Amino acid sequence: MKITDKYHRPVFSLRISITNRCNVKCFYCHHDGIIPQNYEMTPEEIERIVRVAKEIGIKKIRLSGGEPLIRDDIIDIIQRISSIGFQDVSLTTNGTLLGKYAEKLVDAGLNRVNVSFDTLDPETYRFITKKDYLDQAKDGIKKASEAGLYPVKVNMVVMKNINHHEIWDMFQFCRENGAILQLIELLKTDNCPDTAFFDEYHYEMDEIEEELVELSSKIKTRQFMQDRKKYFVEGGEIEIVKPMDNTNFCKNCTRLRITPDGKIKPCLLKNDNLTDLINPIRQGYSDEELKKLFLDAIEKREPFYKEEC
């Protein structure tokens, strides 16, 4: 089954936030656009949701949070999802627990990971996360590559006067560890802990993009990945993720999200168009009725940034 929304955008990926808990406290964190609450779905409920999602045409599942590896039942969750049979099962993590879990995750059927990792400098790491887990995170990236999670992507939120000068060191670190570097634009969302940081730290990536165009042997545009650009430089790869005011980013969005309390969320940047799934599941709705809720949520999809006619 192939499903598109009213803007003719195919919908085939689902990002599930399985917890709001996290073991680091990044000052800029948007919590995947979710208003923090203490609620987690059970592995059985997550499995039911992804089974129905597959029936409406979802092909790719990504787990996020909060920190997904903080859940004691993470291996069970991955096993349940991967046994259903998706094109891709991935996870976004801060990497601090990856050293412990990488091999078990591979055995459970996880295909790949994105590791949020912004700096190689211990003081900057502490400033951003309020924790001293730099070495654990570095080790997690290495172990993920060694365990065969592929590709490992390192998500670096680039911030002016915090880490923008580290881009090439980070690239070197990624290349040494078989990872792709993703440079992510700092985003301001309604639920960021405080928005004052944005003006101070937002970094325009135009200059680095110009440099990458000069240095790249090849450039690819990943249409169904929000039109992201991928640059191939000296045996390594760098991707740029620039959502702010980017109509192409929204035009090529293929994603639905699920919040930790079991609501379908059509857009990272909006919280006024959610569709409850968990209560219907608990009230005994059939798969057909749950599919209808997915279709209603897809009907509510709107590009956050759209071209004015």
Residues that bind ligand SAM (CB under 6 A): 22, 28-32, 64-67, 92-94, 116, 155, 157, 184, 186-187, 192
Residue 97 C-beta: closest distance to ligand SAM, Å: 10
C-beta closer to ligand SAM: residue 11 or 187: 187
C-beta closer to ligand SAM: residue 52 or 181: 181
Other Cβ atoms less than 10 A from the Cβ of 218: the count is 9
Residue 65 C-beta: closest distance to ligand SAM, Å: 5
H-run or E-run covering 230:
strand 228-233
Residue 288 C-beta: closest distance to ligand SAM, Å: 33
Which residues are within 8 A (CB) of 234 and not within 5 positions of it... i.e. 6 or more apart?
175, 215, 217
Structure tokens at 126: 């502490």
C-beta closer to ligand SAM: residue 22 or 58: 22
C-beta closer to ligand SAM: residue 79 or 93: 93
Residue 144 C-beta: closest distance to ligand SAM, Å: 13
C-beta closer to ligand SAM: residue 68 or 281: 68
**DSSP state, residue 229:** E
Residue 226 C-beta: closest distance to ligand SAM, Å: 13
**How far, in Å, CA of 71 to CA of 21, rounded?**
9
Which residues are within 8 A (CB) of 82 and not within 5 positions of it... i.e. 6 or more apart?
89, 108, 109, 110
**How far, in Å, CA of 58 to CA of 49, rounded?**
11
